Amino acid sequence: MSRQREYLRTHPWLSFRHDLERADPLCWSLLGEATARCDQIAQAVLPPVYAKRLHQISMIKGAQATTAIEGNTLSKEQIQSYLEGTLVLPKSQEYLKQEVSNVLAAFDNIFEDIMGGKLPMVTKEWICKANQQLLTGLEAHLDEGVVPGEISRHSVAVFRYRGAPRQDCAFLLDRLCEWIEGEDWPVRRDQQGDRISSAILRAIYAHLYLAWIHPFGDGNGRTARLMEFMILARAGVPSPCAHLLSNHYNLTRTEYYRQLDRSTRTNPGREDPIGFLLYSLEGFVDGLREQNQSIDQIQLKLAWEHFVYNEFRRYAPSSAMRRRREAALIFGQTGNVIPKKDIRDLSPSLIRLYVTKTTKTLTRDLKWLVEKDFLEITEDGYRAKVGRMHAFKFPQA
């Protein structure tokens, strides 16, 4: 009779069961909302320049988040400078830039494969290659004996948690890949409507299980989060959304580690992945809601601009109409309440238009814009009535 594997004694939670039949109804509600919001963002209509900007911002946030969890102190602004080729760091901090560079390169490789029609698969080879890529150039900062991309020969621990037995890690990685790419899931990825929800479940479980196995001497967390990102991206989750889980883990770093630790305890009801799943879904949906709001704001500003130009075509061209149109456009771009004394300085174009005009002229223009329903007066100043763009939104009671 063959010898029982050691991990069954030391790590019984590595059961390769999702236990979703015991999931709280809230999990399914959040999963449904996450799927719907990903679809909504994927279908958002934006000018290419805005879409490109959102993609880059999300990629920077994702790289910053997944490295910050491991102690990297580079800010989003510094990563932006790195992408622009202007980041200069002391020699003692160069490794921080290397860590971020590795993550960004890994993102790019995944996107290139997907756009080229070569969808990456979760395999032991892919996982090891990902770890190697993430640790490239950092060898001098790794513990002795740590080889990027190779399963550690020595026991690996993080905080109180010790990874699976070394002799079982290769077997466990194969099991993980077979399970994640298999069809033993309640949501089918071969169904068009279920593709994204299936990817979300598999991505979170893949992350959790790799963290549990902890096969590498370093970079396990980054590798787990990169695999999670890959599973989401290949399923068609929009690029700005595919980074949101890493952002959530970074923003709630203490809770992230608490949930990982809690999922492996042997206390009744704790030795399962459901708690980590719920925690991840809640953060993912929060991030998607914020992203929806950001896209809505962009679309609202674009709609306002189109509306203003169309409305002003009804009036004969004049210097007064140019001033009023420009003021309406600028108010719509800011979206804020602007005190009357600050209006002239809102933009270089307004400064030029009002530089030779008196306060009386400004007052007359503002009155006209209020009468024509472009602006409204508040206690603190004026703001654009962009709410007119919400065609079917009922006023709040």
Which tens digit of pLDDT belongs to each residue from 192-220?
678 999 999 999 999 999 999 999 999 99
pLDDT number for residue 266: 45
pLDDT number for residue 2: 53
Q: What is the mean pLDDT of residues 242-260?
A: 95
Pairing of strands 375-378, 161-162: unpaired
User: Rounded to two decimals, what is the model's pTM?
Assistant: 0.89
Listed residue (179, 241, 232, 183) closest to 203, CA to CA:
232
Listed residue (61, 72, 67) closest to 243, CA to CA:
61
Q: What is the mean pLDDT of residues 75-98?
A: 95
- Provide, rounded to the nearest whole percent, the portion of the chain with pLDDT above 70: 95
Neighbour tally for 45: CB within 10 Å: 8
Output Rg (C-alpha) for the chain, integer angstroms: 26
Q: Does domain 315-389 have CATH number 3.20.20.150?
A: no
Q: What is the mean pLDDT of residues 178-187?
A: 91
pLDDT number for residue 184: 87
Residue-wise pLDDT for 36-85, tens only, equals 999 999 999 999 999 999 999 999 999 999 999 999 999 999 999 999 99
Separation of alpha carbons 104 and 193, rounded Å: 30
Map residue 176 onto helix, strand or coil. Answer: helix
Average pLDDT, the chain: 92
Map residue 240 onto helix, strand or coil. Answer: helix
Residue with the bigger pLDDT between 388 and 17: it is: 17
pLDDT number for residue 271: 58
pLDDT number for residue 397: 46
Answer whether residue 1 shows pLDDT above 50: no
**Domain segments of the chain: what residues?**
7-292, 315-389
Maximum distance among all Cα pairs of the chain, rounded to whole angstroms: 97
Q: Are 274 and 25 in contact (CB under 8 A)?
A: no
Fold assignment, 7-292: Fic-like fold (1.10.3290)
Contacts of the segment 102-106: beta carbons below 8 A, 24+ positions apart: 102/133, 102/134, 102/135, 102/136, 102/137, 102/138, 103/62, 103/63, 103/66, 103/67, 103/134, 103/222, 103/226, 104/59, 104/63, 104/79, 105/133, 106/130, 106/133, 106/134, 106/226
Q: Are 153 and 166 in contact (CB under 8 A)?
A: yes
Residue-wise pLDDT for 348-388, tens only, equals 999 999 999 999 999 999 999 999 999 999 999 999 999 88
Q: Are 106 and 131 in contact (CB under 8 A)?
A: no
Q: What does the block give as tokens for 364?
A: 């007359």
For residue 262, what is the DSSP state?
Answer: H
